[in-house]
Structure 1
Amino acid sequence: MNYLQAKKEVKNGKVSPVYFIHGTQQFLIEDFSQQVLDQVVGQDGSDMNVITYSFSETPIELAVQEAETLPFLGANKVVIVKDFQAVTSQKQDVKIEHDIDVLIKYIENPSPESTLILVAPYEKLDERKKITKRLKKEATVIEALPFDDRMMKQWIEEQTASHHIQITKEAQERLVERLGFDLLLAASELKKLALYVGEGGEITPREVDLLVARTLEQDVFALIDFAVKKRLDGALVIYHDLLKQKEDPLKILALLARQFRIYYQVKGLSKQAYSQKQIAAQLKLHPYAVKLASQKVSQFEERSLLTLLEAAADTDYAIKSGKMEKVLAVELLLMKMTQDL
């Protein structure tokens, strides 16, 4: 089950006795756990009915014992086990003996007064392990994985609905363009936008442009766009604005080189009839990054991209070997970009 579906069920009062959350998106893990806490113990619930353990520090039997113990004052209880390494093949940092069979017996017959949340913040699971198989069969499994474009838009709509406001499709696109899929940052920016438009208001691209600052990556996209249009003046304005914000020219150079590399790889794989999904898997990129690159690569010749990759490498060498001052070196690269693209 994905995060959005699971959160909707909890919000509607359907809480499972055992949740198994796995994936690398910490924001989703924390947000879903908080949703369960609000539903089970309430926002004003007793801290004595919220118990958190670390798998690397506490035997799992103690967490199970806690889940089996009656809650304080007859209320409901939430037991959270973080860093649940038993479902991975990685070695534990701390050597603690765990009786996993005790946990397996519990998830097969969990206490109705408790909700157990097992958190495995890892990209891959060891599907061969007995505990992994049992959890997938008996528990409610939630994937805390990066959103695709569709899920990101659903999440934005959910967030705006919780603030009692609306957002246009164009504003959604603009927000994702500016922030990417950084959910923590997006949640913060949506709160700010909600305060600005007020309850019952609507977020349009105007509000996004007014209130949401571009990320460094977005400024790099803009730099390249100006270069494609032979607008050195526009590229230099953005570059010097970044310098005023204390961004290191070497960091800007690295992001430029990374973007050239992505464009070159996407263009090459697209010519081989790879789909965007296949390209994302091949290059280990987020599908949205591939989508953006696919929209741009028609503006570039492969030879020009190779030339710029070589120029970026030469610029990096000139800076690090002390042959050229870094601010000037990147300026010269921007000049070359407007000539070669």
Structure 2
Amino acid sequence: MSKPSLRSFASTDRFLAEIATPALRPGYVLLGDEVFLYQRCRTGVLATLAPADTRDFCLHDLDLAETSIFDVLDLAQTPSLMAPFQVFFVRNLKTLYGRGSKKEEFAAIDAYFRSPNPQAVILFVADHLHIPTDLRRMDMQDKERYDRIRETLGDWCSLVELARVDEPDAVRWLTEAALTRSVAFDPDAARELVDALGADMMLIASEFEKLALYVTAPEILKSLGPEARPRITLGDVETMVLAAKQRSLYELTDAISLRDRPRALLLLHGLLNASDGGEDSSIGHLYMLARTFRQMLIIHEKNVRDSRAIWGVLWQGFRMPPFAAEDLIRQARRYKSRAPLTRALRLIARADLELRSSPANKLLVLERLILALATDPTPSPYEATQFAMEL
């Protein structure tokens, strides 16, 4: 993949450049839940500091929920007999900021970094924070967590912000990544892909791989001629991504909200037939269905009536594509209270549990779910008690 010099990538670019120089710090904190940027950082660290031939001896993936910070620091201070350099990825940093003062833990951290092992680097993973593209719009709770980490670890560790990638940078990333594959990505197609996936870079990268493989298939290349460059067009995006995964999904939730059971079942079958994995893709469809109902629940609770107001209540990375905003507002308003929306989420959660239990017929599980979602619930005096027991 390409390494674009984009504003959203600036923090990770600086980090990746630094680890390859003598300016390497003994510790870093990877701040944020942007998985794509985290994977980019991890891949760069492994390529530079943990080569494949010694990786089994020098790479340590630790979790503070299972390993104490004292043991982590002791391991970092101990030289390895099998590798010249050691890399420690330490997850669940939030456990250091739970109840209690944790004076002993932070005293041990200070003591280590005053005289760190020069042949080791510790990378704390703070993925319990959500960092928006615009830091000024950071949630107050995340801001407090960010400040506390900076105050306690900032003196010893460099902070690497893994913020959400903004849409223009995501579009440019697509264009430049396509060039590295000798593929042209039409600007309107790139914008449509980013728009449809809400600038979620993990989804964008995954869909880009599918599109690149599609347009470079031997039969496609043969039809283009020897000198023509493969091209990803708006039609390719609408066919490979939006039609199967986005528009049909909102048509399905529209039929559910209208209690149109025959149409909902037809749309379910169409969604499965359009998916590469058929019934095996059912977990992914349930995830998208749950996400859509959560969006409708927030829209309903915030009484959103205009698509312009929707961006104020749904955060970046949790928004629907603009073409679906009005439809989803209309669907959410069909529910008179939050009860049927929370019921829908419970039904989806039960179906998800059933699918993960390897049922004999996955299609039957999905059909029962859609019929239940598209049916008005019958009041039961035992429903509240049953749900409490499930929790």
Q: Report the TM-score when normalising by structure 2.
A: 0.57
Q: CA RMSD in A?
A: 4.9
Q: Distance in 2 between matches of 1:108 and 1:3?
A: 32
| Residue number in structure 1 paired with 2:192 | 174
CA 1:223–1:38 in 2, change beyond 3 Å: closer, same or farther?
same
1:289 is paired with a residue whose SS is coil
* 2:192 aligned counterpart, secondary structure: helix
User: Is 1:142 matched up with 2:160?
Assistant: yes
Q: How many angstroms apart in 1 are the aligned matches of 2:374 and 2:74?
A: 64
| Partner of residue 118 from structure 1, selected from 120, 124, 127 | 124
In 1, the alpha carbon distance for the partners of 2:125 and 2:210 equals: 30
Greater Cα offset, 243-252 or 16-25: 243-252
Q: Distance in 2 between matches of 1:254 and 1:86?
A: 29
Sort the Cα spacing of 1:80 and 1:170 in 2 relative to 1 into closer, same or farther, 3 A.
same
Q: Contact between 2:186 and 2:233, CA under 8 Å: does it hold in 1?
A: yes
Assess if the C-alpha contact under 8 Å between 1:64 and 1:106 holds in 2.
Answer: yes
Contact between 1:87 and 1:126, CA under 8 Å: does it hold in 2? Answer: no
Superposition TM-score, scaled by structure 1 size: 0.64
Go from structure 1 to structure 2 and tell me whether the alpha carbon gap of 1:61 and 1:158 turns closer, same or farther (over 3 Å shift): farther
| Mapped contact 2:59–2:87 kept (Cα < 8 A) | yes
Match of 1:22 in 2: 31
1:260-280 deviation line (CA, Å, top 9, x unaligned): 566667884759x9694x433
Q: Which residue of 1 aligns with 2:250?
A: 221
1:306 and 2:336 matched: no
Unaligned runs of 5+ in 1: 228-232, 334-341
**Are the equivalent residues in 1 in contact too, given 2:90–2:124 (CA < 8 A)?**
yes
Residue of structure 1 aligned with 2:14, choices 9, 12, 20: 9
Instruction: Return closer, same or farther for 1:109/1:161 CA change in 2, 3 Å cut-off.
Output: farther
Q: Secondary structure at the match of 1:47?
A: helix
Correspondence 1:292 to 2:292: no
Could you say which residue in structure 2 is the equivalent of 1:337? none
Deviations 1:303-325 (CA, angstroms, capped at 9, x unpaired): x9634657x949x79xx9xxxx9
Change (3 A) 1:252 1:25: closer
> Could you tell me how far 1:184 is from its partner in structure 2?
3.7
**2:195 and 2:321 in contact (8 A); partners too:** no
Higher mean alpha-carbon deviation, 174-183 vs 48-57, is at: 174-183
Within the candidate set 10, 14, 36, 2:45 is matched to 36
Identity within the alignment, %? 20
Which one of the candidate residues 41, 51, 62 is aligned to 1:53?
62
Query: Which letter does structure 2 place at the counterpart of 1:4?
Result: F
Deviations along 1:52-111, one digit per CA (max 9) or x if unpaired, are 3222232323333433444556733312222223443368xxxx9963322223345544
Match of 2:232 in 1: 203
Change (3 A) 1:74 1:142: same
Is residue 83 of structure 1 aligned with residue 124 of structure 2?
Answer: no
> Could you tell me which residue of structure 2 aligns to residue 279 of structure 1?
313
1:117 CA displacement: 0.6
Distance (whole Å) between structure 1 residues aligned to residue 300 and residue 264 of structure 2: 21
